[in-house]
Structure 1
Amino acid sequence: MDVSWAAFVGVVVLAYLIPGPDFVVILRSATRGWRTGVAAALGAQTGLCVHVALAVGGLSLVLSRHPDLLTAIRTAGGLYLLYLAGRLVLATFRSAPGPDREEPAPGHGDRSAFGQALFTNLLNPKAVLFFAAVLPEFVGGPAPTWAQVSILGALDVLLGLVAWSVVILAGARLGRLLSRDRVRRWWDRTTGATLGVLGGGLLLARD
């Protein structure tokens, strides 16, 4: 493989440093507990593995022949983020929980966190474009293309696990500051609004 590893790692790290839907979902999940944060991180990276598999199978060729597919993914991703945002914000306007009841926050179990992060990643058009247009730029040399894409994709997934570990630790610490119901509700409203802005941005984006 004739790959500029430093350049590739730099591009991947930069992508993870720019907060996006995955970051918001994982951070919010981590404030519910580190196990929930881990579940969300694994969901996001599972989605990333699917993108890697699609890239190995010729994702760039498919998109070149069916450009409307990316628009469909972007629309679905935007609608899904708006759904998560609405569900999260509306729940904060329910009656405040009593001392013997848990806060009525939707989708904060491990399984739900995994699923939310999985679909958020799968429907992220930026992830699709990365594996369709950016990653192939680092492929070269006599080795089979599918093998090079697989190795680069696996490195992306591993770097993501490191990045999300930092986010989970930060989220778990932040969760201690959100123990009061009122503070938690405002945090969830802020998180929901952020997801709504990201979702609206996807719907309004133009090719």
Structure 2
Amino acid sequence: MFALLMTMTPGPDTLLVLRNCVRGGRRSGAATALGAALGSLAWAAAAAVGLAAALQRWDAAFTVVRLAGAAYLVVLGGQALWAHRRSAAVPGAGAEPAAEEAADRAPLGPVRAFRQGLLSCLLNPKVGIFFVAVVPQFLPEGHSVLGGTLLLGALDAVIAAGWLLLVVVCAGRLLERLRRPRVHRTLERTTGGVLVALGVGTAAETVAG
């Protein structure tokens, strides 16, 4: 239940899945969701062998990973804002999708979407810290820490994939409306701004800390 609540909390992964679903369709949205889930599973494996805890104690490495993740979010958000700016600059874009805007969306296939979802999660060390700080409290007494952490990590990855795929299904039913030029530009601007804000906030928090 706790893992479900944490997964349902809106974050970069959810925004990325929604945006990629609109840009590339359900397959790209689902690929993004599976990439994020695999990233979560990788963090669980790292926590199980102590790498996440070691990373947290090693300030320099932890800072590098957090700043890399923040930069990645800013890049993704900047791309969305740039696409919005280009489409807004095209005369008559409010009526029909501009050719340049359509070209920007076309290259986003499932492979690229999967990579974005995976990197978004892998470059977020807070996921690893979650497993290090929270998972041990749910491990059965007397059982293997490695096996228990991997099992709970796998369950968390399944829950994350299930929730994000549900987001894809819901977005898929609204694709026709979401792809209307005005709605699409608003979505690009909003998700882009939020991703940039999350990246800048993470970077500022890292530097201040």
Please give the range of the TM-score, normalised by the shorter of the 2 chains: 0.7 to 0.9
Q: Does 1:18 align with 2:9?
A: yes
RMSD: 2.2
Please say if residues 43 and 118 of structure 1, whose CA atoms lie closer than 8 Å, have aligned partners that are also in contact: yes
CA deviation after TM superposition for structure 1 residue 107, in Å: 5.8
Please say if residues 43 and 52 of structure 2, whose CA atoms lie closer than 8 Å, have aligned partners that are also in contact: no
* Cα distance in structure 1, aligned partners of 2:191 and 2:50: 35
Partner deviation per Cα, 1:139-179 (whole Å, 9 max, x = no partner): 24222111111111111011112211211112212322123
* Cα distance in structure 1, aligned partners of 2:47 and 2:202: 22
Match of 1:57 among 28, 49, 53: 49
In the alignment, residue 9 of structure 2 is paired with which amino acid?
I
CA deviation after TM superposition for structure 1 residue 100, in Å: 10
Aligned-residue identity in percent = 36
Partner deviation per Cα, 1:23-58 (whole Å, 9 max, x = no partner): 100111222411111110111011112112211211
1:3-152 alignment runs, 5 A limit: 10-31=1-22, 32-63=24-55, 65-94=57-86, 95=90, 98=98, 102-105=102-105, 108-152=108-152
* Cα distance in structure 2, aligned partners of 1:194 and 1:77: 14
* Cα distance in structure 2, aligned partners of 1:91 and 1:72: 29
In structure 2, stretches of 5+ residues that fail to align are none
SS in 2 for 1:93: helix
Please say if residues 76 and 195 of structure 2, whose CA atoms lie closer than 8 Å, have aligned partners that are also in contact: yes
In structure 1, stretches of 5+ residues that fail to align are 1-9
* Cα distance in structure 2, aligned partners of 1:134 and 1:100: 46
In the alignment, residue 198 of structure 1 is paired with which amino acid?
L
CA deviation after TM superposition for structure 1 residue 16, in Å: 0.9
SS in 1 for 2:104: coil
Quick one: structure 1 residues 171 and 151, their matched pair in 2 at CA, closer, same or farther if it must change by over 3 Å?
same
Runs of 4+ in 1 over 4 A off after TM superposition: 96-101
Q: TM (normalized to structure 2)?
A: 0.85
Quick one: structure 1 residues 127 and 99, their matched pair in 2 at CA, closer, same or farther if it must change by over 3 Å?
closer
Please say if residues 103 and 181 of structure 1, whose CA atoms lie closer than 8 Å, have aligned partners that are also in contact: no
